[in-house]
Structure 1
Amino acid sequence: MLMSPASIFCTEIAALLLVRSVEGSPFQESGIGDKIRSIGRVTNKQHANDQKGFDIVVHGVLLWASVGFLMPVGTLAMRMSSTNTMDRHPPRHKILLYVHAALQVASVLLVTIGAVLSIRKFENAFDTTHQRIGLALYGVIYLQVLIGFNRPARGSKHRRTWYFLHWMLGTSINLVGTLNVYTGLHAFHARTSRNTQLWTIIFTAQASFMTVCYLFQDKWEYVQQQGRMEEEDDGGDGEPNVSPKENGHGGMTDEDPSTSPTRSRSRSNALGTHFSRTNVLNTLLQQPNA
């Protein structure tokens, strides 16, 4: 348990007064003074250990809030702003872009504070996995900041390269940052012998929830499209809504899905594209009636 600053100060003053009171007294000759001075040294060492543990906790909270929470949330916010959102809801796309930028800037500020704290308070021998990963993570984060503020205009020839690099670095930061939170919990347990199992479980639950949200975002628009496709096919009354047209030989054939604007808008996934192409091929290969 960490000692409060007031209790630490009072303990140091009491030890100092005891040491001063026995110097030059009969107690010093009997060895009691040495024992009291030894107690003072132990108290100072305990104070140093408590302060070190407090600094480690602050460092861990700052880096968890940055790479373990704010950066993933910013990534999720940006993924909500897809191309369709930009085309159909420009104000919403702009808001999500600002939310993404604000979260990333806040996380970089927390990373900077955590880095300064680690430089000033810790032994930076970089002989542990946590320290080495953290050093590499700092460099990649600041590189990502430079790339983010130098975004090419949409449609320019460098936009594709910029997007790929920005996405790759952002994904790497999220994955490696999450890994380093676990290595930090392990290092904290090894240094202080405190139980970190509860914090590991809580962080695992949080990371799992964010991962599910990340994966679900890829399918959310497709799920919404399925509902619209069912309503269009049923015509609102449970009956198939098929608009036949003449095939040029006196017969009737179904409307080509590829020529329907509603169908073309809803085909944004590989499976839908596969079936649409299959229907087109069936229409093209259909033999004329005799």
Structure 2
Amino acid sequence: MHVGCQLQHWKRVKSGAFILGLLTPELSIHITIHGFLLWTSVGFLMPLGVVIIRMTEGVKSIRMVKVLFYTHVTVQILALLLATVAAVLSLINFENSFNNTHQKIGLVLYGLIWIQPLIAFVRPRRGIRFRSLWYLMHWLLGTGVCVMGIANIFIGLHTFHERTSISVSLWAALFTAEVSFMAFLYLLQHRWQYMMRQGVTQDEQIAPTSHASPTSNQKEMLVMP
């Protein structure tokens, strides 16, 4: 009990110093690690995972579809682990009173991040009645986590600047550039096949081929049960 009280007192002292703008070297390290882990996980790896899985739509090789699918899974697991480490370190190093927007969104985000893989593991096979509902939930939750995570990183940078008066313009600009690039890739994927067809005549598009490529549904059934 005594040790627990000391730990709470230590966290309050550090949090109080942060609120007053007194950024100690130790607290600065904790904040830097916290920001780096969440930037890497929800700010980069999770959006990257979304971009990677969307790449399977235009791929004809079953082998490449498998590579992209398992790369997507690996990237998302790594993002989950980094976000979990960030959550644990936050509980240890910060006073979590949840009295500001950044902390409140972060708490919800940590919960959603863990719900998403649970939904992925209970994916019904194609042809089962609830497959469409599962896909909608998986897509909405994944997209929502990415959007919420990116927004909370910006909020965190703003909160840090408000409490310490330290400029975060460079970090905000770098993060904006990265998010913009990811958004560009996401939108480009949506129109890529259409763009490629612009240089092909209508006769060439409908001409039969001797080796029919598998459809998206066939590829999914072969790769993603």
Q: Name which of 68, 73, 77 aligns with 1:96.
A: 68
The 5-angstrom pairing of residues 103-142 of structure 1 reads: 103-142=75-114
Contact kept in structure 1, 2:42 and 2:149, CA below 8 Å: yes
C-alpha distance in 2 between matches for 1:156 and 1:110: 34
SS state of the match for residue 156, structure 1?
coil
State the Cα deviation string for residues 37-86 of structure 1 (Å, max 9, x = none): xxxxxxxxxx982211210111000000000000000100001112x53x
SS state of the match for residue 195, structure 1?
coil
Q: Name which of 41, 63, 66 aligns with 1:66.
A: 41
C-alpha distance in 2 between matches for 1:131 and 1:161: 31
SS state of the match for residue 38, structure 2?
helix
Q: Which residue of 2 aligns with 1:279?
A: none
Is 1:79 aligned to residue 44 of structure 2? Answer: no
Contact kept in structure 1, 2:124 and 2:130, CA below 8 Å: yes
C-alpha distance in 2 between matches for 1:117 and 1:229: 58
- Cα offset, 1:231, TM superposition: 7.3
Amino acid at match of 2:179: A
Looking at both structures, which has the greater relative contact order when contacts are Cα pairs under 8 Å and sequence separation is at least 6? 2
Amino acid at match of 1:163: Y
Identity of aligned residues (%): 46
SS state of the match for residue 151, structure 1?
coil
C-alpha distance in 1 between matches for 2:208 and 2:128: 29
Q: Which residue of 2 aligns with 1:183?
A: 155
Amino acid at match of 1:62: L
State the Cα deviation string for residues 58-116 of structure 1 (Å, max 9, x = none): 1000000000000000100001112x53xx31111111000100000000000000000
C-alpha distance in 2 between matches for 1:179 and 1:131: 12
Q: Which residue of 1 aligns with 2:167?
A: 195
Is 1:49 aligned to residue 24 of structure 2? Answer: yes
**How large is the RMSD of aligned CA atoms in angstroms?**
2.2
Larger Rg: 1
Amino acid at match of 1:98: Y
C-alpha distance in 1 between matches for 2:47 and 2:23: 35
Contact kept in structure 2, 1:56 and 1:188, CA below 8 Å: no
Is 1:158 aligned to residue 130 of structure 2? Answer: yes
TM-score, scaled relative to structure 2: 0.79
Matched residue count: 190
C-alpha distance in 1 between matches for 2:128 and 2:198: 34
Runs of 4+ in 1 over 6 A off after TM superposition: none
- Cα offset, 1:156, TM superposition: 1.8
Where does structure 2 lack aligned partners over 5 or more consecutive residues? 1-21, 213-225
C-alpha distance in 2 between matches for 1:78 and 1:232: 28
C-alpha distance in 2 between matches for 1:180 and 1:261: 50
Q: Which residue of 2 aligns with 1:211?
A: 183
C-alpha distance in 1 between matches for 2:89 and 2:203: 58
Q: Which residue of 1 aligns with 2:193?
A: 221
Contact kept in structure 1, 2:23 and 2:164, CA below 8 Å: no
TM-score, scaled relative to structure 1: 0.62
Q: Which residue of 2 aligns with 1:173?
A: 145
Which stretch of the first structure deviates more once superposed, 55-64 or 150-159?
150-159
- Cα offset, 1:192, TM superposition: 2.6
Contact kept in structure 2, 1:62 and 1:114, CA below 8 Å: yes
Where does structure 1 lack aligned partners over 5 or more consecutive residues? 1-46, 234-256, 266-290
SS state of the match for residue 95, structure 2?
coil
Amino acid at match of 1:135: L
